[in-house]
Structure 1
């Protein structure tokens, strides 16, 4: 019998509209253009702060909307003066900084198409993006990035490179210092041409080509239109009411489509954006910046939770934390049901908040109007942790190809453990096999210069996400796994590895966990402890704290095998982990096993540990026979 296909559509009839009080312009996605959006915001919010960044001396440098827009137009004029034509591609290769957004919106105001490059990209990855996109210019932060571009574009790597591309024209490299020198040029003769291009810009014009992080194969360039961003902003406006007094921290890489959309929407609403040039220092920045809005991947929220629990090192401190989280959790669960918490729990809340819960909020910069997790699955335990502390941490879901958002939540309409409901104006369908399909105004125009891949991804108007999930009776979407990641054991059992990995990652000892078992008799896992995890293991086993030695110590492997077995013992028999391979520090972005958006490249990891995995299965088989 064929599977039933179900379509869920969110419209204004599904959910009562929020009461919007923002002075931002109402968006008409049919005429939307990002260059006109920032011009409108500069007029509406001229004196309000647009960007902020902390200097080496610890002082903030803040730029108003009017000043920011003057810089944007100056860069656009400089581009026109250099012969940049509408549709030309300009790449940006840098960590987050106000100059990133300045170059972005300046290029868009000149009619160019922006190509973001993750700051952690290798020379080979940079070469592929610049060659494939045909970028004429690349804006880089400084000397480090300029040297990587130079290495990438030397004849030895740019010709005969195996990806079917070569450098058509020299690529001009502009550092942030060079960008500022360009802004000092008058170029007044170009002002009318820039104004003409902004006015002539159409919603269907390609705004950006975003290269997917590529968990499998070579990354492809996703073309997103100005109107697609407008569609996404309409959906955000339908759920959240950003005020000009709200402010956010730009922490996720701006090359990440979610951070880029978020930043555009902040500028649309007149909010301030505080940039985090060094993502490793986000823990120090958040209490200083105290943003009212925050979007991030789960890793940041996991680290806050793990750090808070590790600080409670003594039995007494752990007992106090457990008690405080229990009190906060009981109160919040009552609120979620629309009830008043029992007097017993209300009476304990002030002390619990003073001793523990307020400190959790301080770690993420204080109270939040909105805190969103996206880009990867978020464990229910993390949601409950922040909920107990008085912060709703909601999830969204999407792909670069979907623009990126597909689902969203509201502070008055959410369900923990789900990724929210489908955004306004889009449709979701669950196809045979459980794959999630989506269509709507923000879906990509296609893959750059790759009609075959486009036809494979978008069929009959539906974008095939490759993700498996379901929609519950209340319209909330849950993601269970990647379609290609589903493990089918030798016994014919289907296993969604993300659920098993989530059970393993509940143990703070582990930094990475990858489940393996396709066409095998049982599941095993490749486990990589964190730095603190190695210390914990050394202390528990009475061994020296040397991760290199610990990784090959049989006692460590036995201990981790017991942990994995205990953590998965509550799962179905075929979902339990029977053995482990111990990784030291090999599962990193630097060696290609983790993407720039912190997704694991499963097949790459399995190939890297293939010998150890094969030996583990031989050992397990020998034990069963014995």
Structure 2
């Protein structure tokens, strides 16, 4: 089998010319494109790049939201052995400038006016051409429309360019969103992406009847790698342009496959529990149905057929509760995966109980991104699965996870020092802390750089503690602090609908802003934090809690593109509040001693 993506994709197109390849919602209808039409567009993009003089190894920027065009441009660039460089749709002119200059972009594909204007606002003397998918009035000379850019393919010229292709070619330079410093360009090879796709085939049965919902940003290594898997299997990929519409799109699209970050699963979990909280009868039925679902799952997992009585109960539980939650997820799934951040065990159990087991995996951009994953017949809740076939794991000092395998990056673009720091003797230093159990399953406990070291030298891993607190739906975000401080404290962002419900039940005065600043809310939050962390060792229990009422978004820099909280940013943004909290605690401590 070829280890170049385009050679494989050409075979898929030849075998499935009339099958649907891409789909996107336009108004009230689907715009669908067959594999043959998709292939023709890819060739026209490739010819446009040839006409522009893009050389093998030349870098091409992709700066647009998820859409069929994203994949056409991606595969069009790969067809002429160019290197796609994705940019997040939220990128600022400064970020664009850094990535475009660092990678040496000569052409940039953009979606609409907003993206075009941000590129034009950056100082990029080497950028020859901006190609726009949705043109607008007064674009200027440097900007050309996507349809005008595409050209009728000279197949001989395209074949000649591809004849030299190899699996060592770069399939992408992906800039890590990085929670600190300037993003670094991760060089991912064709053979790395294909090694992952082939490893998944040994555990998952994906057929051309399967179709996926693509709503995580394609500029992120996880969605990018997964979309490659989907399209190389001759499946249909449904693109979601605006991730905020994912709940309705799941129902409209009815996908059989989906890869997501925990946020989506958390939302479904919270919504389902909130709907059941209406009355005590509803709550009892809901809890009973989940228990029945869970026992059925246990039976299947241990290789037994559930008893007749259990199966009969499941039919009732399904009718009353479980099917409704599955329907909200767009029906049954062949693949339902989760990555990008830790998934809480109670959420994993919940989805298993409703008949939609989530396969949690682990990876990082530097591993293209897959390191380990759970599979339908080989999984363990609370872990991120077993290492990718062909890969190896090792636990270094301080518990850091090291990975070696066929999909480790070729290095950081133009940055040999950073590469040498990250890859030692072929082993990738992940920066994550964890352990491997006796069955070979990996568990992640925290990020190495997130480990809090208190003044007393105590090491505290914040993620498990934050997970405990977030199990209570009143908390939307929880950030544990305490690095280089005498003890740990907590910043929380409460969930507004739950604050409202509390206020109404307690007849609090005023409106939402008054409630967020009220003593009643603070006391309730503190009480719950104490209850949830009561069994932890003293050094891991927060000594004080403060409320943040600002939203956490990508735009304000408090969330990464995969919706992980940027701990350092939060601490810097609320520095005055944090300093004040520690000053008061110090005074209180002095009074008592």
* Match status 1:138 vs 2:108: yes
- Aligned equivalent of 1:543: 508
Query: What is the 5 A alignment of 1:449-598?
Result: 449-543=414-508, 546-598=511-563
* Match status 1:169 vs 2:126: yes
- CA–CA separation in structure 2 for the residues paired with 1:607 and 1:540: 35
Structure possessing the higher relative contact order (Cα contacts under 8 Å, 6 or more residues apart): 1
| Alignment RMSD | 1.7
Deviations 1:531-589 (A, max 9, x none): 32332343344335744333332332222111211121232332222211211124321
Decide whether aligned partners of structure 1 residues 304 and 545 sit closer, same or farther in structure 2, where only a CA change above 3 A counts. Answer: farther
* Match status 1:614 vs 2:579: yes
Query: Partner of 1:121: helix, strand, or coil?
Result: coil
- Aligned equivalent of 1:40: 11
* Match status 1:447 vs 2:440: no
Structure 1 residue 452: Cα displacement: 0.6
> Are 1:215 and 1:599, in contact at CA under 8 Å, matched by a contact in 2?
no
Give the count of matched residue pairs: 581
* Match status 1:378 vs 2:343: yes
- CA–CA separation in structure 1 for the residues paired with 2:551 and 2:44: 45
* Match status 1:238 vs 2:199: no
* Match status 1:182 vs 2:139: no
- CA–CA separation in structure 2 for the residues paired with 1:456 and 1:586: 35
Query: Partner of 2:544: helix, strand, or coil?
Result: strand
* Match status 1:264 vs 2:237: no
Match of 1:102 among 54, 59, 72: 72
- CA–CA separation in structure 1 for the residues paired with 2:163 and 2:507: 70
Structure 1 residue 489: Cα displacement: 2.3
- CA–CA separation in structure 2 for the residues paired with 1:553 and 1:445: 53
Q: Structure 1: where are the runs of 5+ without partners?
A: 1-27, 159-166
- CA–CA separation in structure 2 for the residues paired with 1:329 and 1:573: 34
- Aligned equivalent of 1:404: 369
Query: Partner of 2:285: helix, strand, or coil?
Result: helix
Structure 1 residue 124: Cα displacement: 2.0
Decide whether aligned partners of structure 1 residues 183 and 218 sit closer, same or farther in structure 2, where only a CA change above 3 A counts. Answer: closer
Deviations 1:322-363 (A, max 9, x none): 121122122212322233445554332211111110011111
- Aligned equivalent of 2:99: 129
Structure 1 residue 253: Cα displacement: 0.6
For normalisation by structure 2, the TM-score amounts to: 0.95
After the TM superposition, which of the residue ranges 551-560 and 448-457 deviates more from structure 2? 551-560
- Aligned equivalent of 2:250: 286
Query: Partner of 1:240: helix, strand, or coil?
Result: coil
Query: Partner of 2:105: helix, strand, or coil?
Result: coil
- CA–CA separation in structure 2 for the residues paired with 1:137 and 1:230: 26
Structure 1 residue 168: Cα displacement: 4.5
Structure 1 residue 179: Cα displacement: 5.2
Query: Partner of 1:616: helix, strand, or coil?
Result: helix
- Aligned equivalent of 2:360: 395
- Aligned equivalent of 1:113: 83
- CA–CA separation in structure 1 for the residues paired with 2:19 and 2:288: 43
Query: Partner of 2:406: helix, strand, or coil?
Result: coil
* Match status 1:53 vs 2:24: yes
- Aligned equivalent of 2:141: none
> Are 2:108 and 2:127, in contact at CA under 8 Å, matched by a contact in 1?
no
Query: Partner of 1:317: helix, strand, or coil?
Result: helix
Deviations 1:15-46 (A, max 9, x none): xxxxxxxxxxxxx4xx4112212211111111
> Are 1:248 and 1:293, in contact at CA under 8 Å, matched by a contact in 2?
yes
Deviations 1:471-496 (A, max 9, x none): 00000000000011111223332211
- CA–CA separation in structure 1 for the residues paired with 2:305 and 2:159: 57
Query: What is the 5 A alignment of 1:405-444?
Result: 405-444=370-409
Query: Partner of 1:85: helix, strand, or coil?
Result: coil
Query: What is the 5 A alignment of 1:146-157?
Result: 146-151=116-121, 153=122
- CA–CA separation in structure 2 for the residues paired with 1:97 and 1:614: 45
- CA–CA separation in structure 2 for the residues paired with 1:337 and 1:76: 51
Structure 1 residue 617: Cα displacement: 2.2
> Are 2:47 and 2:150, in contact at CA under 8 Å, matched by a contact in 1?
no
- Aligned equivalent of 2:139: none
Query: Partner of 2:543: helix, strand, or coil?
Result: strand
Decide whether aligned partners of structure 1 residues 214 and 458 sit closer, same or farther in structure 2, where only a CA change above 3 A counts. Answer: same
Structure 1 residue 394: Cα displacement: 1.3
> Are 1:204 and 1:227, in contact at CA under 8 Å, matched by a contact in 2?
yes
- Aligned equivalent of 2:138: none
* Match status 1:79 vs 2:49: yes
Decide whether aligned partners of structure 1 residues 184 and 114 sit closer, same or farther in structure 2, where only a CA change above 3 A counts. Answer: closer
